[in-house]
Copies of this chain bind each other. A is one copy, B any other.
Amino acid sequence: MNEPLKFPTSPFAPETGEQAEYLDDQALRQLCEAEHPADLAAQFAELDLDRAADIFSRLTPDCCADVLVHMDYDDQREIAARLSDGVLAKVIAKMSSDDRVDLIQSMPDERGETLLHLLAKKEREDILRLSSYEEDTAGAIMTSEYATLSPDLTVRQAIDKLRLEAPDKETIYYAYVIDEHRRILGLVSLRKLIMARPGAKVEDIMRRDPVCANVHDDQEEVARQMAKYDVLAMPVTNGNDALVGIITFDDVHDVIEEEATEDFHRMGSISPGTGTEDLVDIGLKDASPWLLIQKRLPWLLALVFMNIFSGAGIAYYEDTIQATVALVFFLPLLIGSGGNAGAQSATLMVRALAIGDVMMKDWFRLVGKEVGIALFIGACMGVAVSFIGIFRGGVDVAVIVALAMVCVVLFGSLLGLSLPFLLTRLNLDPATASAPLVTSIADIGGVVIYFGIATWYLGSYAAI
Residues on A facing B (Cβ under 8 Å): 36, 38, 70, 159, 162-163, 166-167, 172-173, 190-191, 194-195, 211, 223, 226-230, 232, 249-250, 252-254, 256-257, 260-261, 263-265, 267-270, 283-285, 289, 292-293, 296-297, 299-301, 303-304, 307-308, 310-312, 314-315, 318, 321-322, 325, 328-333, 335-337, 339-341, 343-344, 346-352, 355, 357-358, 362, 366, 369, 372-373, 376-377, 380-381, 384-385, 388, 392, 409, 434-436, 439-440, 443, 447
B contact residues around A436 at 8 Å (CB): 339-340, 343-344, 435, 439
Enumerate chain B residues within 8 angstroms of A270, measured Cβ to Cβ: 344, 347-348
B332, B369, B380: the one within 8 Å of A310 (CB):
B332
Alpha-carbon distance between A250 and B233 when the two chains are bound, in angstroms: 11
Interface of A is mostly: helix
**For A230, what are the chain B residues with a Cβ–Cβ distance below 8 Å?**
38, 250
B439 touching A285 by the CB < 8 A rule?
no
The answer to whether B293 touches A377, judged by C-beta atoms less than 8 angstroms apart, is yes
Residues of B within 8 A of A329 (CB): 311-312, 314-315
Cβ–Cβ < 8 Å partners of A253 in chain B: 223, 226-227, 252-253, 256
Also in contact, A36 and B373, with CB within 8 A (given A191-B166, A307-B337):
no
A373–B270 alpha-carbon span in the complex (Å):
14
Check if A304 sits within 8 Å of B284, measured CB to CB.
no
How many Å lie between the Cα of A318 and that of B335 in the bound state?
Answer: 19
Complex Cα gap A318–B332 (Å): 14
Select from chain B the residue with minimum beta-carbon distance to A264: B351
Give A299 to B343 CA distance when docked, in angstroms.
12
The answer to whether B38 and A300 have CB atoms under 8 Å apart is no
Residue from B269, B335, B373, B409 in contact with A343 in the complex, judged by beta carbons closer than 8 Å? B269
Q: Which of B297, B325, B336, B376 contacts A377 (CB 8 A)?
A: B297
User: What are the 10 A-B residue pairs with the smallest beta carbon separation, nearest first?
Assistant: A268-B347, A310-B332, A435-B435, A260-B260, A307-B333, A284-B352, A227-B253, A340-B436, A283-B357, A230-B250
A128 to chain B, nearest CB (A): 26
Given A191-B172, A357-B285, A340 and B264 touching (CB < 8 A)? no
Q: Which residues of chain B are within 8 angstroms of A257 by Cβ–Cβ distance?
A: 227, 256, 260, 355
Q: Is the CB of A232 within 8 A of B261?
A: no
Picked from B190, B318, B341, B347, the residue with its CB within 8 Å of the CB of A300 is B341
Inter-subunit contact B249/A232 (CB<8 Å):
yes
B447 touches A332 (CB 8 A): yes
Determine the chain B residues whose CB is within 8 A of the CB of A36 once the complex forms.
Answer: 211, 229
- In whole Å, how far is A253's beta carbon from the nearest beta carbon of chain B? 4
**In the complex, are the beta carbons of B173 and A191 less than 8 A apart?**
yes
Q: Which residues of B contact A195 (CB under 8 A)?
A: 163, 166-167
**Minimum distance in angstroms from A322 CB to a CB of chain B:** 6
For A362, the chain B residues whose CB sits under 8 A away are 285
Of all chain B residues, which has the CB nearest A226? Answer: B253
What chain B residues lie within 8 Å of A343 (beta carbons)?
A: 268-269, 434-436, 439
Q: Are B340 and A303 in contact (CB under 8 A)?
A: yes
- Contact between chains at A381 and B289 (CB < 8 Å): no
Determine the chain B residues whose CB is within 8 A of the CB of A159 once the complex forms.
194
Known: A352-B285, A440-B336. A384 touches B268 (CB 8 A): no
Residues of chain B within 8 A (CB-CB) of A435 are 267-268, 343, 435-436, 439
Q: A94 to nearest B CB, angstroms? A: 16
Q: With A337-B304, A381-B300 as given contacts, are A292 and B166 in contact (CB-CB < 8 Å)?
A: no
Could you write out 30 A-B pairs with CB less than 8 Å apart? A162-B194, A232-B232, A257-B355, A264-B347, A264-B350, A265-B348, A265-B351, A267-B267, A268-B346, A268-B435, A283-B358, A285-B358, A289-B373, A289-B376, A292-B369, A297-B377, A300-B377, A304-B381, A304-B384, A304-B385, A308-B388, A310-B332, A311-B333, A311-B392, A315-B392, A322-B322, A336-B439, A339-B436, A436-B439, A439-B439
